[in-house]
Structure 1
């Protein structure tokens, strides 16, 4: 088994073109204008990023995190903006999570303000995450109910949303849904490809579409299963190489099978070695960097990263960080409880 695992990691390293040039991730604590839990990040470029979280709060920087502007949705200041997508420095989509009509989607621009474009019409509904292929087409994923998966799609930049016919989707497992932890349980690639990571109720699998949500396949994964376990975050660095992280949210002081990689578009997955940090991870990212690779995962007990696709891990921080994101420029962010924001720099 160990030989097979080692060969799998070597294959992934070769596929990503990794060399002995080892990147380093450095951190700097940034001054935040809020104490709200910050759960989602959307980076536009090396200078501009948006983050969002509880108390209807979201923030923007246009100078790489040196300064932040704070915004909120005053009509319902209890909303939890657990995901967002930035189109540019002035326009974003915000998603609030919660039972029933607390799950909402807004367009926001600096010029026009808020436009509410979706309110969950089902008491059993609960939105987890949103993701866009481009400025027009996107998906939103929510918890299942009545034995049916729940996926929304938009073709007009989030101005309107329609539910994908559950008959086009695989049947839902009992209690299957997602984790509205870091806004990354969907990942997309050009040409209509998207991967959704599920969990809860003893379910843990990947849903895949190659045609903008018209048809779907399912892939099994080796992550831990349980009532509060599964995939919290899924990322693809290209059409073939990808990462899932998660764990059992009820197990905070032990290692579980919670990080795996794919080299065939999600069809099969290989567990990595155990990270430094115990407990579940909530957010992650995976990217190529100057012929090397960086895998990074964040959670309530800290942030770990790996430059050899999970053969070894380095602990970056022991704070409570729910989301992490890296940009190809080498600029990154991690956000978490009490408004914490870390600036990450890849060198």
Structure 2
């Protein structure tokens, strides 16, 4: 006897079949030719991007158009990181030795506040991030044998160095790579991860109490004088770290790893397609699926299976990545801005 349920069940199965989600890329018109190397996505409309030559840009329409801004003192400052609060206000971090490392607040159209200037001639800021509108963190190269960590509790108006009592000592020459604004990333409930490198060091500093105490976790990435972790990103408990040896441009090294337990343990991924070091990373979740991205001077790769397989999206020179849900941006040399969309 022919079952009356065969045809309806077959049709139901066809209707439930979903097309695989694939990243799509679109080069956008940029108002600058300066190197852009940090991205802060506020929402689907508002994104801030900062870079060299005291330059930063803002979109209020999802990347369709961009406003160009410059610091009034000229082009000597390098805005290596930015955190946007809304479509009018952002905190920018500059990198450089001593007083060239600063943290400033910008409010459109042209209001500036200088919140922090590095007083130690050996100091060098690498990146910033915020947990919320009031609590934030900045990280820089080690000073006095301890990590250089600044904390703010007033939205970036004032910054103070974290107490070193509850943090591990640093190795010689240890610090961060101020390449993508993602050597520190914040998470829920006071979590934050710092990715370190250089001087033969390669590890993570992890906090679960808004920077009051820290523990260290070893990284499986390659270490060396100009090697280590460059970027760390998390979505929930799943994280990706990228890096490599900046002196090895045309070969593969241990340059990408994943954690599925909030950074307690890390495992190297399979070999990406792009050669050389990765400067930036991003990770996002859509329809229950994890997508991770890695970029560097040789191109932009992605994986949808926690690093088991990789695909190349582009072969141009990218320094920074950021994803928020189903969309994001990549930026790099010559002012390039690339929109990334996850679509079935």
TM range (shorter): over 0.9
The answer for the alignment partner of 2:278 in structure 1 is 281
The answer for the alignment partner of 2:27 in structure 1 is 29
Equivalent of 1:251, from 239, 248, 253?
248
Q: Is 1:272 the equivalent of 2:266?
A: no
Do the aligned residues in 2 keep the contact of 1:220 with 1:267 (CA within 8 Å)? no
The answer for the alignment partner of 1:58 in structure 2 is 56
The answer for the alignment partner of 2:116 in structure 1 is 118
Quote the offset at 1:213 in angstroms: 0.9
Q: Is 1:342 the equivalent of 2:338?
A: yes
Q: Is 1:95 the equivalent of 2:68?
A: no
Q: 1:296 to 1:312 in 2, by over 3 A?
A: same
Do the aligned residues in 2 keep the contact of 1:127 with 1:143 (CA within 8 Å)? yes
Q: Partners in 2 of 1:23 and 1:124 — Cα distance?
A: 47
Q: Partners in 2 of 1:216 and 1:293 — Cα distance?
A: 27
The answer for the alignment partner of 1:311 in structure 2 is 308
Query: TM-score with structure 1 length normalisation?
Result: 0.92
Quote the offset at 1:278 in angstroms: 0.3
Q: Partners in 1 of 2:275 and 2:319 — Cα distance?
A: 14
Q: Is 1:109 the equivalent of 2:123?
A: no
Within a 5 Å distance, the mapping from 1:36-185 to structure 2 comes to: 36-110=34-108, 113-185=111-183
Q: What SS does structure 1 have at the residue aligned with 2:165?
A: helix
Q: What SS does structure 1 have at the residue aligned with 2:99?
A: helix
Q: Partners in 2 of 1:28 and 1:287 — Cα distance?
A: 18
Do the aligned residues in 2 keep the contact of 1:129 with 1:180 (CA within 8 Å)? yes
Please, which moves more after superposition, 21-30 or 60-69?
21-30
Do the aligned residues in 2 keep the contact of 1:23 with 1:307 (CA within 8 Å)? no
Equivalent of 1:292, from 280, 289, 294?
289
In the TM superposition, structure 1's runs of 4+ consecutive aligned residues that sit over 6 Å from their partners are none
Please, which moves more after superposition, 141-150 or 29-38?
141-150
Superposition CA RMSD, Å: 1.3
Query: TM-score with structure 2 length normalisation?
Result: 0.93
Q: Partners in 2 of 1:76 and 1:141 — Cα distance?
A: 25
Quote the offset at 1:54 in angstroms: 0.2
Do the aligned residues in 1 keep the contact of 2:45 with 2:59 (CA within 8 Å)? yes
Do the aligned residues in 1 keep the contact of 2:98 with 2:118 (CA within 8 Å)? yes
The answer for the alignment partner of 2:208 in structure 1 is 210
Please, which moves more after superposition, 126-135 or 20-29?
20-29
Name stretches of at least 5 consecutive residues in structure 1 with no aligned partner. Answer: 1-18
Quote the offset at 1:112 in angstroms: 6.1
Do the aligned residues in 1 keep the contact of 2:201 with 2:223 (CA within 8 Å)? yes
Q: What SS does structure 2 have at the residue aligned with 1:101?
A: helix
Do the aligned residues in 2 keep the contact of 1:52 with 1:59 (CA within 8 Å)? yes
Q: Partners in 1 of 2:233 and 2:81 — Cα distance?
A: 15
Quote the offset at 1:166 in angstroms: 2.5
Do the aligned residues in 2 keep the contact of 1:22 with 1:292 (CA within 8 Å)? no
Do the aligned residues in 2 keep the contact of 1:335 with 1:341 (CA within 8 Å)? yes
Quote the offset at 1:252 in angstroms: 0.4
Q: 1:112 to 1:168 in 2, by over 3 A?
A: farther
Q: Partners in 2 of 1:149 and 1:270 — Cα distance?
A: 25
The answer for the alignment partner of 1:228 in structure 2 is 226
Q: Say which one has the larger Rg.
A: 2
Q: Is 1:242 the equivalent of 2:222?
A: no
